[in-house]
Chain A
Amino acid sequence: MTISLVASEPDAKGVKVENAESVRTVRGTTLLKRGFAHMQKHGVVMDVTSVEQAQIAEEAGAVAVMVLDKLPYDVRKAGGVARTASIKVIEEIMDAVTIPIMAKCRIGHIDEARVLQVTGVDMIDESEVLTPADEERHIWKWDFTTPFVNGARNLGEALRRIEEGAAMIRTKGEPGTGNVAEAVTHIRMVNNEIRRIRSHYQDGDKQELMKAAREMKVSYAIVEETAKLGRLPVVNFAAGGITTPADAAFLMNLGCDGVFVGSGIFKSEDPAQRARAVVLATTFYDDPKVVRDAQKMVDEKKSLLGLDTKNLELRMQERGQSA
């Protein structure tokens, strides 16, 4: 089995058994949820706010689109409370493109998530880009048939989200800034922490693994599985601040399974070209000549100018830190 089933809840409410055409079928299993995320690997998920943008994204080779009311850069500018996107827009996009549709709900907002599930989106992002609805807890995602993706800045956050039922993890980065530095910090942090527990695992030092589990407030089983695999037990994407093809290649080379691009594409002045170029660089991340060709397709003068991540009024990555 190449999909880890660690921490899964076999009798979870999200699992649905039925008999169709006298054949027993099961939906909403851990294998199907994590399997969906595996199908996104080596791909680029693009943030979109309209049917037109979704079609540009699909044409450019996006593996899925993430529907938002406002791009993260505009969420910062607008201030106020950011909530899930208009259902009407989500439905229009579902009817217009063939690739999977993802949408964001607020952290802890169980009923925004339920609404997205019955709308039929393919994956729900419980996202810090929106204003958290519950300061104490995240959604118990095993109750859902729809798979979830969650953000994380370190291994503890990632494993806590997986134990709550997340089928996919992404770095939090610092969305809407055009600066990839925070995403790089987060992926390096996760990689280093995994390397540390892996060496304890290889030494057979279970006491150190138990200590790590207690520090991270997660089960021993998930720490041991992660240490054994030498990677997160679910697909891990990069997100937050990716703006150029080279940014995408950089994060792929750091070991990410794929990338999310938020404001970087549709806040640039060359979205269609840039979208295509980011897809190419993500696929051929280890071939500098193709990444160069992809970089040539974009004009740096047309990139999102970006924001200084040191002096932000709102640090989205710090949202939803609770255990």
Chain B
Amino acid sequence: MSKKSSVAIGVLGFQGDIEENVAAVKQAAKEMKASATVQLVRYPEEMEKMDGLILPGGESTVQSSLAAIQQSLPVLKKRIAEGMPVLGTCAGMIMLSRRAYDRVVGDTKQKMIGNLDIVVERNAFGRQNDSFEADLDIGIVGKGKFKGIFIRAPAVSEVGKDVEVIAKHGSKIVAVKQKNIIGTAFHPELADDARMHKYFLKMVLDYRKGKA
């Protein structure tokens, strides 16, 4: 491992709100006074070099079909299994899940990364007119409400035994953690609140420290 003190965070750069996650990581690093570089990643060789990875919001069907080319899926699967911290927001959580089905259309041919032991219901709250903002309690990022921005959001319908539920909206599970993997149904990158990205950056810093 290189001795450089800065951690490298990648944002999967196929489709979706990529730049918003880049900005959120920069904000988090600034608030923590941590040294982190953040870049867009689209090629397997870039994914190999990262200390942490964010899978942004967007359309999961599009992102996973683009990830399937150039053999990115096995690389992502391997890096996450090795312990690289990963944060998936909305579409990103869907891609990380073991299985996803659409509320209306049912099961689809979508290819998954699959390391996160959950089943996800896509478009669980409805279509865009049902997209909503609601305050959430997320203990792991600290006290004080977190603004949940749910855009055609999924929800978690089943969790495996190693999965910790970290946030709920009413009766629905909307954020989970399984060791080095965090999945959120909402968009912390749009919340003007860097706490989730700070928590993730801390995981990445600890992961690097553990490897050094």
Q: Is the CB of A39 within 8 A of B132?
A: no
Interface size on B, residues (CB 8 A): 47
Which residue of chain B has its CB nearest to the CB of A26? B133
Is B37 an interface residue when CB atoms closer than 8 A count as contact? Answer: no
Report how far A98 CA is from B91 CA in the complex, Å: 12
Report how far A297 CA is from B127 CA in the complex, Å: 34
Interface-lining segment among B56-64, B112-120, B200-208: B56-64
In the complex, which of the residues A27, A43, A280 contacts B129, with contact meaning CB atoms closer than 8 Å?
A27
Q: Is the CB of B62 within 8 A of A61?
A: yes
Which residue of chain A has its CB nearest to the CB of B104? A95
Report how far A146 CA is from B190 CA in the complex, Å: 19
Is A53 an interface residue when CB atoms closer than 8 A count as contact? Answer: no
Is A311 an interface residue when CB atoms closer than 8 A count as contact? Answer: no
Report how far A2 CA is from B108 CA in the complex, Å: 32
Q: Is the CB of B58 within 8 A of A41?
A: yes
A264 to chain B minimum Cβ distance, whole angstroms, is: 18
In the complex, which of the residues A26, A98, A117 contacts B105, with contact meaning CB atoms closer than 8 Å?
A98
**Chain B residues, Cβ within 8 Å of A220:** none
Q: Is the CB of A3 within 8 A of B58?
A: no
Is B32 an interface residue when CB atoms closer than 8 A count as contact? Answer: no
A5 to chain B minimum Cβ distance, whole angstroms, is: 10
Q: Is the CB of A20 within 8 A of B170?
A: yes
Report how far A145 CA is from B151 CA in the complex, Å: 13
Is B35 an interface residue when CB atoms closer than 8 A count as contact? Answer: no
In the complex, which of the residues B16, B18, B122, B192 contacts A1, with contact meaning CB atoms closer than 8 Å?
B192
Is A88 an interface residue when CB atoms closer than 8 A count as contact? Answer: no
Report how far A206 CA is from B198 CA in the complex, Å: 37
- A30-84 contacts to B, CB under 8 A, are 31-32, 35-36, 38-43, 58, 61-64
Q: Is the CB of A35 within 8 A of B23?
A: no
A308 to chain B minimum Cβ distance, whole angstroms, is: 34
In the complex, which of the residues B15, B130, B133 contacts A29, with contact meaning CB atoms closer than 8 Å?
B133
**Chain A residues, Cβ within 8 Å of B99:** none
**Chain B residues, Cβ within 8 Å of A28:** 129
Q: Is the CB of A43 within 8 A of B59?
A: yes
Give the interface size bracket for A toward B.
Answer: 35 or more
> Which of B66, B149, B151, B169: most chain A Cβ within 10 A?
B151
Which residue of chain A has its CB nearest to the CB of B21? A2
Q: Is the CB of A38 within 8 A of B17?
A: yes
In the complex, which of the residues A3, A39, A98, A284 contacts B42, with contact meaning CB atoms closer than 8 Å?
A284
B187 to chain A minimum Cβ distance, whole angstroms, is: 7
Which residue of chain B has its CB nearest to the CB of A102? B128
Is B123 an interface residue when CB atoms closer than 8 A count as contact? Answer: yes
- Going nearest first, the 3 A-B pairs with the smallest beta carbon separation are A21-B170, A122-B128, A1-B192
What would be 9 A-B contacts, judged by CB atoms less than 8 Å apart?
Answer: A1-B190, A2-B20, A36-B152, A41-B58, A42-B14, A63-B59, A98-B104, A123-B128, A280-B66
**Interface set of B (CB-CB < 8 Å, partner A):** 13-20, 23-24, 42, 57-59, 61-62, 65-66, 69, 90-91, 102, 104-105, 108, 122-123, 126-135, 149, 151-152, 169-171, 187, 189-190, 192
**Interface set of A (CB-CB < 8 Å, partner B):** 1-3, 20-29, 31-32, 35-36, 38-43, 58, 61-64, 94-101, 117, 120-123, 145-147, 279-280, 283-284
